[in-house]
Structure 1
Amino acid sequence: MKRLPLITPHPPRLSKLAEGLARIEEAGIYSNNGPVLRAFEASATEQLFGGKGACLAVANATLGLMIALRDAVSDGPAGRFALMPALTFAATAQAAWWAGLTPLVCDIDADNWSAAANEEEELLERHGAQIAAIVPYATFGYGIDLDRYRWLSNRYGVAVVVDAAASLGTTDAAGLGFGAGAPFPVVFSMHATKPFATQEGGLIHCADPDRIERLRAMANFGFTAPRTATLPGLNAKLPEAMALVAQARLEDFDAVSRHREQLARSYRSAVAGRYVTQARRPGQQALGFFPLLLPSERTHERDAIIARLGEEGIGAGKYFSPHLGEQPWIRSIGHIEQTPVADMVGGRLLSLPLSDTMTPDDVHHVVATLDRVVARRSRPIAVSAPPVAETMIIGGGPAGTAMLTAASRHGLLPELSRGLVIVERDGAIGGGQLGRYAITSDSTAQTFLSAIENNPDGAIASLVDHPAALAVARHRASLGVPLAEVGPLLRAVGERLHAGVTAQGGTVLTNTEALGARRKDGLWHVRLRDGATHNDSERVARNLVIATGGHQPLDRLVTQEVAGVPLMEIAGNRLLQSDSVLARGGFEMVADLLSQKRSPLVAVIGGSTSALTTVALLLRERPALPFGAGGITLLHRRPLRPFYHSVDAAHAEGFTDFGPSDICPVSGFVYRLAGFRLEARELVLRMLGIDGRTPEPRVALHRVAGDEDAAARDILAGADLVIAALGYRPRALPLEDADGRPLSIAAHSGAPMVDDACRVRDAAGAPVPGLYGIGLAAGFVPHGRLGGESSFVGQANGLWLWQNDVGMMIVDQLLAGRTRAAA
């Protein structure tokens, strides 16, 4: 039986290049842009790109991407985004990070599997100047539209560097090589596994010869004069021996490309109508293997299908699965958008062999074997239902993992993990949606770091030296931490918690959505959906913890009244919610909406931290909005109170607007729960003129007096933009009783979801057996030994609370319940 490996490297043989190697030895030039390399670059420019522009050969494509990206953003600030699609090789994100950029990962097009155009443009609109570069990927050699990227570059003032690693050999209908004449660098790979196979190497093409020469200097330590670095640089030079191999490949590449194209046509013909393949464009597509999508109902068997093909002598793989957004390190340093198409495509991709030594008959054999393997259903195996879990946590974001962190801080994570199931919609636990916000936290850097410092779990404690922890630590003296930098730390902690839970027999189900839960026979029967296969299943647990976070529901705006008038009626299409303003790109959205106003007027409704944070964002972001005196009005019902660490500290600043009921009996803090902290506190102190502070002239305060407050109505009617910061409601998890009837809980009527023990309350206020809640909008209010002022009205949220007393309150009840059950 002829074996057909997935990848068969077939570069020119060095043993047949003895004459050329001898000339290199005779010349004594082995590197440093020698004559063989220069000759290859000239030949490649002529043969592959129709003589347009120029080429630079480098040691490998990853180094090529690194210097091209570094050059593209050399005049801008570090730490900005590099926008790239999810379905690409890890090197795309790695190169961006090494160039000082943060990967911003977007979804893909369902047909061509490259970056989705609408996603790219939406992110460019949202993030604006925060995006320094677009790094489109020519997926599997697909000839993406470079004219469109030229337009995007001009439209948004953003650099473009194309990752075309697998695309040497891709041509247009006229036979011109992909990237020919592009005004930005297009980076190709010449690795042994690529269609243009050498042993190792990369090629950068660009229409601008000056750009190529600058990159050449960067690839040679940044030297533009003898031994003098004037540019950022590294050593990315291609040795003469590898240039010789590349020249030999160039000489027979037309024949190699025609043969591989013939094999690709054979594949497309053989699989037509039975498997989804990548969209086609006029011309020739370089392919290192042949990718297709398995039928969706067989996705969960992909590994078994690959194994069965291997038993038949046929190599197969699953490039690129996991995609960028699913890889732990990239998640820890990047910003991952929602990627449902990439999740689906990545979950179904199957790569089949396509090599220089194969024949069309081999292709038909591969496809016939695949058909037989896919048609053969897995042998039914009697699988018992999963055992009843002790606890299931729905939601692995900051709140759900905070409970695990609380357990780890008390050495109880191993005990809690036994019989634990965590369900998370995202590809990893820990980060949630925090990273999508463009604001600073209302918690200090020390709050975030306290979860890992001196943690009894060594794996978590060792994170103190993690880059994400060091980034947060830099803000110890600041008013909060940018949430974009908090997200990577929480994801890193989540990764360690994931490992710790599974090591003790627990289960972490990522890319899984909880559809609902039914209370039956004293147990929770939870319906789950696998995000990759869309298969539904059921898991049973004794206890359920809802940690699904909060949101600002649109239907709340429909019924909301301010000063006795329906908010939608008075604000109309001028109304936004604070959550969209505080998200990345929110300020740019506001700036665009107000761009025609010479002295805009904005009304912010609410007295919460999100309201004050919204005001602070509008004041400090750049470029500044042209607010005049009173350009922003904050409409609030309750007095605005600053937090103080002690009565003495408050009195030292002349603040006396508090009484005994406003002081926490445990900590002595003034307005421990109701008081604003950090950035919001500073703004409140200014607006109240505390300790001689000068009020911010661009902000006016208006305390809404009731339904007859005509002045409040006038402010709303005259505002160019109205921003509602009315708090958050818990995300609903549909609950049913044993007969399938909806189980009504207190949160449905707007009341707090949980009681003083974090137990979810039913509509009558009684705790629902075995059901707990934690996180944003749960409605928990600290009490007793947890402290807090008796005058406080509302709910208390905060990562520190969740990772300490609140989290342990639930953990203690769960473990005590186990003890009772065992007894």
Structure 2
Amino acid sequence: MGNTHRLYTTALVGFGPANLGLLLSAYRKNKLSEIAKNGIAIFEKSPRLGAGKLGYYQITANSLSSVFLECIDDPRFYELTSDFIGGDALTFLRDYPDTAPQLSLVADLLERLAEKIISRLAEKYQITLYREAEVTQIKRSGKSFSISFNHNGNIATAESEFVFTNCGGYQTAEQSLLNDIAPVAVTSDEFLSIDKDDASALLHRHKIQRVAIIGGSHSAISSVIRLSEIADNASVAITIYCRSLPRLYFETAAAAQDEGYAFDPVADVCPLSGRINRFAGLRYDSHQAALSIFRTGSVSPQSPAVNFIVSDNPFITASNSSNQELCILATGYRSASPFTGLSGKDTDGRVRDIAGNPVPGLYSFGLGAGLSPSEKAGGEPSFKGRLDGVWLYINDVGDVIIDAYTEDQHIPENIATGR
């Protein structure tokens, strides 16, 4: 029979960038005393904290080094980070603030930061860390949540009044759909997690000459960049099947106009920042690659030719094409939360049940569950995706979640539970 642990005020299920950002947001907004009133329990499946799967990706970030440095240099976090030792990763980011760093460096920085933040906060608040603990079930039990988890070979249960579940996301599609497109199929997660030698070996082993990429996301263009590093225009051709062409990010309307980039002056402009395609737009390396593809048909003169085919159903369109040997799935993510019955994304991070009603005390906003844009978080009206990113978790998204949590403390129980 499993062990039962005490009742916590808050449980953080998963401790990657999203829940790390939540802790920092709560600290910045002076809400940690509320969240940690009767203790915080942190459950992380891996031995490492703070970075999730970022360290597995062999690509550059969609943000500059300076953006990641903000969470260390922000004076509001001085008491937490004043003596932070960031190793080689921090040295590189400081030396090259205007460069998009490798995600492996970002992961190393976030892992070190997470250890520092938890250690420092534990000096003042009750924090229980369950490292290498897999949460298998979260269910509502009276006024709190029952959390079942495996830890050190034992099955245990903890209780918590509030749960923030951010366990990452996964890409999925029916295997039969992928097999209709090409005999070899991988997700962009898988393809971008292997190094150049292994990627090259994959192409040679299966004699791949034609590649289908499903989706027009950052991962899709990153996959094109990887293919362009290991193949040339004489050996491989790439077709991207997507619902719409990838969008590009620009700091200002003037910058977009200087590049001859067409955009909607209302739908594609963030009303808070004035930026073009603030959330949907590709940045830095992927921006330059996409811009080159739009103009010349490839990332570079020697790179494989890239063709876009836009349709309402990229899977069907791709399956109707012939002679493709490799399919790379670069669509969105689904939440890996152990809480079942999610109804989809929203603007406030409150998890909804099947009927669309908020589950009192349960929040999710990380990869696969990210928020929709709102007046509070900003973003261009044309953006229909989810808000994800290290800076957003610590700032705009974190603010939205903490505000929702604070509001929920003042809702009468009969309203909160729908009675």
Q: Give the counterpart letter for 2:378 in structure 1.
A: G
Question: CA-to-partner distance for each residue in 1:494-515, whole Å, 9 max, x for gaps?
Answer: 1112213322112222122211
The answer to whether residue 231 in structure 2 is matched with residue 625 in structure 1 is yes
Unmatched runs of 5 consecutive residues or more in structure 1: 1-296, 298-382, 560-565, 736-743, 747-751
Letter in 2 for 1:568: N
Aligned to 1:724: 329
For 1:578-727, list aligned pairs within 5 A. Answer: 578-585=188-195, 587-595=196-204, 600-620=209-229, 624-628=230-234, 631-689=237-295, 698-706=304-312, 712-713=318-319, 715=321, 717-727=322-332
Which residue is equivalent to 2:372?
Answer: 781
Distance 1:628 1:657, change over 3 A: farther
Distance verdict in 2 for CA 1:660–1:711, change over 3 Å = same
Q: Does 1:402 align with 2:13?
A: no
SS state at 2:164 partner: strand
Where does 1:536-551 land on structure 2 (aligned, <5 Å)? 536-551=155-170
CA RMSD of aligned residues (A): 2.9
Deviations 1:296-351 (A, max 9, x none): x9xxxxxxxxxxxxxxxxxxxxxxxxxxxxxxxxxxxxxxxxxxxxxxxxxxxxxx
For the Cα contact (< 8 Å) 1:760–1:768, is it kept in 2?
yes
- Percent of residue pairs identical: 28
Matched, 1:793 2:384: yes
Give distance in 2, aligned partners of 1:597 and 1:733.
Answer: 36
TM-score (norm 1): 0.46
Q: 1:468 to 1:665 in 2, by over 3 A?
A: same
**Structure 1 or 2: larger strand share?**
2
1:465–1:389 CA distance, 2 compared to 1 (3 A): closer
In 2: Cα distance, 1:673 partner to 1:402 partner: 18
CA distance in 1, matches of 2:375, 2:316: 42
| Aligned position for 1:814 | 405
CA contact 1:395–1:422 (8 Å) conserved in 2: yes
Structure 2 residue aligned with 1:577 = 187
Assess if the C-alpha contact under 8 Å between 1:755 and 1:767 holds in 2. Answer: no
* Aligned residue in 2 for 1:13: none
Shift of 1:759: 0.7
1:107-118 equivalences in 2 (<5 Å): none
Q: Matched residues in 1 for 2:312 and 2:86: separation?
A: 53
Q: Quick one: distance in 2 between partners of 1:544 and 1:708?
A: 37
2:18·2:166 contact (CA, 8 Å) conserved in 1? yes
Paired residues, what number? 407
Q: 2:353 and 2:317 mapped to 1: Cα distance?
A: 40
How far the C-alpha of 1:412 sits from its partner, in A, is 4.2
Matched, 1:529 2:150: yes
Question: Would you say 1:745 and 2:342 are equivalent positions?
Answer: yes
Contact 1:417 1:501 (8 Å CA) reproduced: no
Counterpart of 1:557 in structure 2 is 174
Decide whether aligned partners of structure 1 residues 636 and 761 sit closer, same or farther in structure 2, where only a CA change above 3 A counts: same
Give the letter for the 1:549 counterpart.
G
2: CA distance, partners of 1:599 / 1:390: 54
Is the aligned partner of 1:805 residue 2:396? yes
Following superposition, the deviation at residue 579 of structure 1 comes to 0.9
1:396–1:432 contact (8 Å) kept in structure 2: yes
SS in 1 for 2:281: coil
- Is 1:393 aligned with 2:28? no
Q: Contact 1:581/1:589 (CA < 8 Å) preserved in 2?
A: no
Q: CA deviation at 1:734?
A: 4.0
Look up the SS of the partner of 2:122 in the other structure.
helix
**2: CA distance between counterparts of 1:558 and 1:402?**
35
Q: Distance in 2 between matches of 1:408 and 1:464?
A: 20
TM-aligned CA distance change 1:766 to 1:481, over 3 Å: same
The residue correspondences of 1:289-300 to structure 2 (distance < 5 A) are none
Alpha-carbon spacing, 1:708–1:643, altered in 2? closer, same or farther (3 Å): closer
Deviations 1:495-547 (A, max 9, x none): 112213322112222122211022121210111221x2x12221111111111
Residue deviations 1:549-574, cap 9 Å, x none? Answer: 00123xx2336xxxxxx3322323x1
Q: Distance in 2 between matches of 1:596 and 1:527?
A: 43
Residue 602 to residue 695, structure 1, CA distance change in 2 (3 Å): same
For CA contacts below 8 A with separation 6 or more, give which structure has more relative contact order: 2
Q: Helix, strand or coil: the match of 1:681?
A: helix
Aligned AA (1:779)? G
Residues 509-518 or 416-425, more deviating: 416-425
Mapped to 2, the partners of 1:706 and 1:814 lie a distance apart of 38
- C-alpha change, 1:598 and 1:427, in structure 2 (3 Å) is closer
> Contact 2:136–2:150 at 8 Å: present in 1 too?
yes
Match of 1:461 in 2: 82
Alignment gaps of 5+ in structure 2: 414-419
Residues 169, 333 of structure 2: 8 Å contact kept: yes
Structure-to-structure mapping, 1:306-321, within 5 angstroms: none
Return the offset for 1:768: 1.3
Distance in 1, matches of 2:228 and 2:11, equals 43
Q: Is the 8 A contact 2:244 2:311 kept in 1?
A: no
Question: Who is 1:568 aligned against?
Answer: 179
Contact 1:605 1:726 in 2 (8 A): yes
How many Å separate the matches in 2 of 1:761 and 1:812?
17
Q: Distance in 2 between matches of 1:545 and 1:675?
A: 28
Q: Among residues 437, 440, 444, which one is paired with 2:64 in the alignment?
A: 444
Judging changes above 3 Å, is the alpha-carbon distance between structure 1 residues 706 and 459 closer, same or farther for their aligned structure 2 residues? closer
Hey, what's the Cα distance between the residues in 1 that align with 2:280 and 2:366?
17
Helix, strand or coil for the counterpart of 2:267? helix
Q: Give TM-score, length-normalised by structure 2.
A: 0.88
Aligned counterparts of 2:30 and 2:267: Cα–Cα separation in 1: 36
Paired position in structure 2 for 1:769: 360
Contact 2:216 2:242 (8 Å CA) reproduced: yes
Counterpart amino acid of 1:443?
S
Q: CA deviation at 1:774?
A: 1.9
Offset from partner CA, 1:700-733 (integer Å, 9 cap, x none): 2222335699974464x31232211122111140
Change beyond 3 A, Cα 1:399–1:765: same
SS at match of 1:450: helix
Contact 2:89 2:108 in 1 (8 A): yes
